[in-house]
Protein backbone atom coordinates (compact mmCIF):
# COMPACT_ATOMS: atom_id res chain seq x y z
CA UNK A 1 0.00 0.00 0.00
CA UNK A 2 1.29 3.46 -0.90
CA UNK A 3 -0.04 6.56 0.85
CA UNK A 4 0.57 10.22 -0.04
CA UNK A 5 1.42 12.15 3.12
CA UNK A 6 0.82 15.74 2.01
CA UNK A 7 2.05 17.51 5.15
CA UNK A 8 5.18 15.37 5.37
CA UNK A 9 6.16 15.69 1.66
CA UNK A 10 6.53 11.95 1.23
CA UNK A 11 5.03 8.75 -0.08
CA UNK A 12 4.80 6.04 2.57
CA UNK A 13 4.59 2.28 1.98
CA UNK A 14 3.00 -0.42 4.13
CA UNK A 15 2.73 -4.20 3.87
CA UNK A 16 -0.83 -5.54 4.01
CA UNK A 17 -1.43 -8.82 5.88
CA UNK A 18 -4.08 -11.36 4.89
CA UNK A 19 -6.36 -10.00 7.66
CA UNK A 20 -6.02 -6.46 6.26
CA UNK A 21 -3.73 -5.14 8.99
CA UNK A 22 -0.81 -2.90 8.05
CA UNK A 23 2.82 -3.37 9.03
CA UNK A 24 6.37 -2.35 8.09
CA UNK A 25 5.69 1.35 7.62
CA UNK A 26 8.51 2.89 5.60
CA UNK A 27 9.29 5.96 3.52
CA UNK A 28 8.91 5.03 -0.15
CA UNK A 29 10.00 8.45 -1.44
CA UNK A 30 10.65 11.95 -0.11
CA UNK A 31 9.17 14.40 -2.66
CA UNK A 32 9.69 18.08 -3.43
CA UNK A 33 6.08 19.22 -2.96
CA UNK A 34 3.09 18.09 -0.89
CA UNK A 35 1.69 15.04 -2.71
CA UNK A 36 -2.07 14.75 -3.15
CA UNK A 37 -3.57 12.18 -5.56
CA UNK A 38 -1.31 9.36 -6.75
CA UNK A 39 -1.28 6.53 -9.30
CA UNK A 40 1.21 3.78 -10.13
CA UNK A 41 2.56 2.86 -13.57
CA UNK A 42 3.66 -0.51 -14.95
CA UNK A 43 7.32 0.20 -14.07
CA UNK A 44 6.36 0.68 -10.40
CA UNK A 45 6.92 4.44 -10.50
CA UNK A 46 4.36 6.76 -8.90
CA UNK A 47 2.80 9.86 -10.42
CA UNK A 48 1.74 12.35 -7.73
CA UNK A 49 -0.32 15.50 -8.15
CA UNK A 50 0.59 18.49 -6.00
CA UNK A 51 -1.38 21.65 -5.35
CA UNK A 52 1.45 23.91 -4.10
CA UNK A 53 3.89 22.55 -6.67
CA UNK A 54 1.41 23.15 -9.53
CA UNK A 55 2.55 20.00 -11.27
CA UNK A 56 2.27 16.26 -11.55
CA UNK A 57 5.55 14.43 -11.01
CA UNK A 58 6.64 10.83 -11.68
CA UNK A 59 9.06 9.42 -9.09
CA UNK A 60 10.80 6.10 -8.53
CA UNK A 61 11.16 4.30 -5.22
CA UNK A 62 13.70 6.30 -3.20
CA UNK A 63 12.47 9.61 -4.63
CA UNK A 64 14.33 10.00 -7.94
CA UNK A 65 12.30 12.42 -10.09
CA UNK A 66 11.71 10.82 -13.49
CA UNK A 67 9.34 13.26 -15.19
CA UNK A 68 7.46 16.45 -14.37
CA UNK A 69 4.35 17.93 -16.00
CA UNK A 70 3.95 21.63 -15.16
CA UNK A 71 0.56 23.34 -14.77
CA UNK A 72 -0.54 26.93 -14.20
CA UNK A 73 -2.72 25.89 -11.23
CA UNK A 74 -2.78 23.37 -8.39
CA UNK A 75 -3.00 19.68 -9.32
CA UNK A 76 -5.24 17.61 -7.05
CA UNK A 77 -5.55 14.18 -8.64
CA UNK A 78 -4.01 12.07 -11.39
CA UNK A 79 -4.77 8.77 -13.10
CA UNK A 80 -3.32 6.82 -16.01
CA UNK A 81 -5.86 5.60 -18.54
CA UNK A 82 -7.02 5.91 -22.11
CA UNK A 83 -7.10 3.16 -24.71
CA UNK A 84 -3.48 2.10 -24.12
CA UNK A 85 -3.13 3.20 -20.47
CA UNK A 86 -0.57 5.90 -21.35
CA UNK A 87 -2.72 9.01 -20.96
CA UNK A 88 -2.07 10.82 -17.69
CA UNK A 89 -5.25 12.63 -16.65
CA UNK A 90 -4.72 15.45 -14.13
CA UNK A 91 -7.48 17.33 -12.28
CA UNK A 92 -6.30 20.89 -11.64
CA UNK A 93 -7.83 24.15 -10.40
CA UNK A 94 -6.75 27.52 -9.07
CA UNK A 95 -6.39 27.26 -5.29
CA UNK A 96 -6.56 30.31 -3.08
CA UNK A 97 -7.23 28.51 0.17
CA UNK A 98 -10.54 27.66 1.79
CA UNK A 99 -11.67 31.29 1.68
CA UNK A 100 -11.08 31.38 -2.08
CA UNK A 101 -13.29 28.38 -2.91
CA UNK A 102 -15.67 29.12 -5.73
CA UNK A 103 -15.52 30.09 -9.32
CA UNK A 104 -14.97 27.77 -12.20
CA UNK A 105 -11.26 27.31 -12.70
CA UNK A 106 -11.14 23.51 -12.82
CA UNK A 107 -9.54 21.74 -15.75
CA UNK A 108 -8.85 18.18 -16.81
CA UNK A 109 -5.34 18.15 -18.27
CA UNK A 110 -3.79 15.31 -20.27
CA UNK A 111 -0.20 14.27 -20.90
CA UNK A 112 1.27 11.36 -22.86
CA UNK A 113 3.02 9.15 -20.28
CA UNK A 114 6.08 7.03 -21.11
CA UNK A 115 4.70 3.93 -19.35
CA UNK A 116 1.10 2.63 -19.06
CA UNK A 117 -0.82 2.18 -15.83
CA UNK A 118 -0.29 -0.79 -13.56
CA UNK A 119 -2.92 -3.37 -12.69
CA UNK A 120 -6.40 -3.92 -13.99
CA UNK A 121 -8.41 -3.48 -16.10
CA UNK A 122 -6.01 -4.37 -18.91
CA UNK A 123 -6.65 -4.63 -21.79
CA UNK A 124 -9.98 -2.84 -21.94
CA UNK A 125 -12.53 -3.51 -24.66
CA UNK A 126 -15.74 -1.80 -25.69
CA UNK A 127 -18.93 -3.77 -26.29
CA UNK A 128 -19.92 -3.29 -29.93
CA UNK A 129 -23.61 -3.19 -28.96
CA UNK A 130 -23.91 -0.97 -25.87
CA UNK A 131 -20.41 0.62 -25.92
CA UNK A 132 -19.77 -0.22 -22.24
CA UNK A 133 -16.08 -0.81 -21.51
CA UNK A 134 -15.00 -4.10 -19.92
CA UNK A 135 -11.82 -6.03 -19.39
CA UNK A 136 -10.90 -9.60 -20.29
CA UNK A 137 -8.74 -9.78 -17.15
CA UNK A 138 -11.29 -8.67 -14.57
CA UNK A 139 -14.19 -10.99 -13.87
CA UNK A 140 -15.61 -8.44 -11.42
CA UNK A 141 -16.24 -5.78 -14.08
CA UNK A 142 -19.82 -4.84 -14.78
CA UNK A 143 -21.23 -6.04 -17.04
CA UNK A 144 -19.10 -9.18 -16.83
CA UNK A 145 -17.63 -10.23 -20.17
CA UNK A 146 -18.18 -13.76 -21.32
CA UNK A 147 -15.09 -15.96 -21.02
CA UNK A 148 -14.42 -16.08 -24.77
CA UNK A 149 -11.16 -14.57 -26.10
CA UNK A 150 -12.61 -13.03 -29.29
CA UNK A 151 -15.85 -11.81 -27.72
CA UNK A 152 -17.01 -8.47 -29.09
CA UNK A 153 -20.10 -7.98 -26.88
CA UNK A 154 -20.75 -8.13 -23.14
CA UNK A 155 -23.02 -10.80 -21.66
CA UNK A 156 -25.90 -8.34 -21.33
CA UNK A 157 -25.91 -7.88 -25.12
CA UNK A 158 -25.00 -11.44 -26.17
CA UNK A 159 -27.79 -13.93 -26.94
CA UNK A 160 -28.68 -16.11 -23.97
CA UNK A 161 -28.34 -19.82 -24.62
Query: In this predicted model, what pLDDT tens digit does every residue of 12-70 receive, in sequence order?
Result: 999 999 899 999 999 999 999 999 999 999 999 999 999 999 999 999 999 999 999 99
Residues with Cβ within 8 Å of 102's Cβ and at least 6 positions away in sequence, in order, are none
pTM for this predicted structure: 0.72
Predicted confidence (pLDDT) per residue in 97-152, tens digit: 766 666 778 889 999 999 999 876 544 555 555 555 544 443 333 444 444 444 45
Ramachandran assignment for 151, one of left (phi > 0), alpha (psi -120 to 50 degrees), beta (any other) = beta
Amino acid sequence: LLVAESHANRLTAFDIAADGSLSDRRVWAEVAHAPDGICVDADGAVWYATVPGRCCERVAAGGEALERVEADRGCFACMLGGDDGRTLFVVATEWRGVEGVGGRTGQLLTHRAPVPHAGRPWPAHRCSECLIRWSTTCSASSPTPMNVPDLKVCIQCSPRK
